[in-house]
Amino acid sequence: MTSEPISRRVHYTIVLLVRASLVGCGCKSGPSPVLSSEEESKLVNWAFEMAEIGYGQTRRQVCEMVKKFLDKDGRPNPFKDNRSGKDWWYAFVRRNPKLSL
């Protein structure tokens, strides 16, 4: 056994991983959501309200509602013609697991 300190014997990557898990940065990976959490909440509530009265919404209809939000607001977004796609949809459903459209 060597007389080096333990931090020298442990691989540097492991030290970084342990520090990251202990300290944590409070960051989320991936791009930030296009809609605010309040807007997403309104969208989820709208989808449930429509389902309650017998008009369940498809993925396309929900994406069309997102387009209306973005057209009205005029903020920059990564979508072509303000139209969200499948990747946004799957991320949205992961953020809102009670949806199953």
pLDDT value, residue 101:
56
Residue with tokens 């990747």: 87
Res. 26: pLDDT tops 80: no
Long-range contacts of 46-55 (CB under 8 A, 24+ apart): 47/99, 47/101
Long-range contacts of 18-27 (CB under 8 A, 24+ apart): none
pTM for this prediction: 0.65
Q: Are 81 and 60 in contact (CB under 8 A)?
A: no
Res. 18: pLDDT tops 90: no
* C-alpha dist (Å) from residue 56 to 47, 53, 80, 95, 100: 7, 8, 26, 19, 10
Q: How confident is the model at residue 98 (pLDDT cuts 50, 70, 90)?
A: confident
